[in-house]
Structure 1
Amino acid sequence: MPGLRREEVAALAGVSCDYYTRLEQGRHKRPSETVLYALAEALQLDDLATRHLIDLARAIAAPQRRLPKPSVQRVRPSLHRLLDTFTEHPAFIRGRRTDVLAMNKLAALLLTDFPAKPARDRNLLRWALLDEEARQRYVDWEKVVSSMVGTLRLDAGRHPDDPLLAQLVGDLSVRSEQFRRWWADHRVVERRDGIKRLDHPLVGRIDVFYEALEVTGEEAQTLFVYSTDPGSESESKLRVLADRTRSAPVESASGH
């Protein structure tokens, strides 16, 4: 909590100042969950930040081991078929590190055609940060992308030994001053539902709502489905894009 001195935090958490100091300095690597929850309460962390704190503590306490070769996430065929049935709704599956693992034609037209990109570039955060197309597409670009950075920070707490995540963070840190600033904030974000305000080159301003649904039986795969308000101008514009996907091959609206 901003403004609290170290001894005040320790007192609120019910631990000694010396113990809290050792925790801060990494000299005590196995705090109990009781202590962690007490610290979270003292610091007034919300549920998500508390879970992130516990993830970090577990990672520090875990014994060092040889890192496995990172495996490539794959989407099962039945989910590909499911995505293709959403002809009126943009939908895609996001994996670890904000990688886009699969998407339907309407999502590719609404955002960008991730499946057509090289494997390294099928990453939502990389595209949003580094591609001018994304800056033009998101009306609230800074809000959206800083939130994506918070999602990546949450993933880093859950998978601290992921070499591909470390590579992504390193690359984005070199290439984007904004990423470096947002990453240093240590903010964590879990996206469940919300609204995206888009400025699409084919139909103009369109507002879509999203729902994030965890894929059962798959680790770290989330299905995102977009919708619009019934009877709204955005619904009509989304229908125009849907008709376009049925009449022509999908390509990025900017011509990429």
Structure 2
Amino acid sequence: MKEIVGLSLIISLIFVGCDKSKPNAENTEKITVNNEATFQLDSINVKDSLKVDQNLTVVFESKILVFPTLKNKTLLDSIYAPKQIQLSDYSKANLAEASNKKKSEYYEEQKSSLKDYKPEFAQSWFTHSDMKMFSKDNNFLTVQYTGDGYTGGAHGYYYENYKVFDLKTNKTMQLADLITDPGAAIWQKILMDNFIQNDGDKGQVDMLLVDQIPLNSNFYFDKEHLYFLYNQYEITAYAAGPVLIKIPLADIKLLLTDDFIKRQSL
């Protein structure tokens, strides 16, 4: 993205043991972006491990962003929905409590799984989830949600998702806010052409599993491009990894909404 906003000094809650967690001292930095109103960003990081069986250790790690200056409840509900967190008040303390609860639930889930399967040799299972402010420009806030984990089997899992929030309207951006007809057949050609063009020597084209690439809701944009992210197995084999398709806005201007063109000064 053209305008990448550095995170403020991160406020971490490092959990060394299940019952010995203490927050570090607070230090929240105020950030001003593109002459917009003062914007504050903070975060909570929870990391812990537990030996649940003689041969199994499970590790939990989660990072959650905190937005002290965002007050709209509907907007905050949308921001934290991908983390499966819904609160009446998204304060740092409440978000820390929610993250601790998820840690406990993860431990209990893994303990329960041992009823059906016990590892024959020592191994570690884990779940990691991250939340980053990908960009903030023109009052559009883009948040990246990533995660990975392993609970036995041939390989682990990974996901990478994006959501764009309009801080002027306190709404989540939908495809219909950007393009006039998301159902138009021309998008299949646009996506396929740009997928092939973007591939270079990555070899993802060779692992394509579909004849046509559909639009999805995992998108973000900057001043010059519209990006669509497809996770593993969505359109390609697991080995291909996530696929990012970059489309120049100049090439699709006739398909964009008037409001989006005006907002982005295209």
TM-score bracket, normalised by the shorter chain, equals under 0.3
Larger proportion of helix: 1
TM-score (norm 1): 0.23
Larger proportion of strand: 2
TM-score (norm 2): 0.23
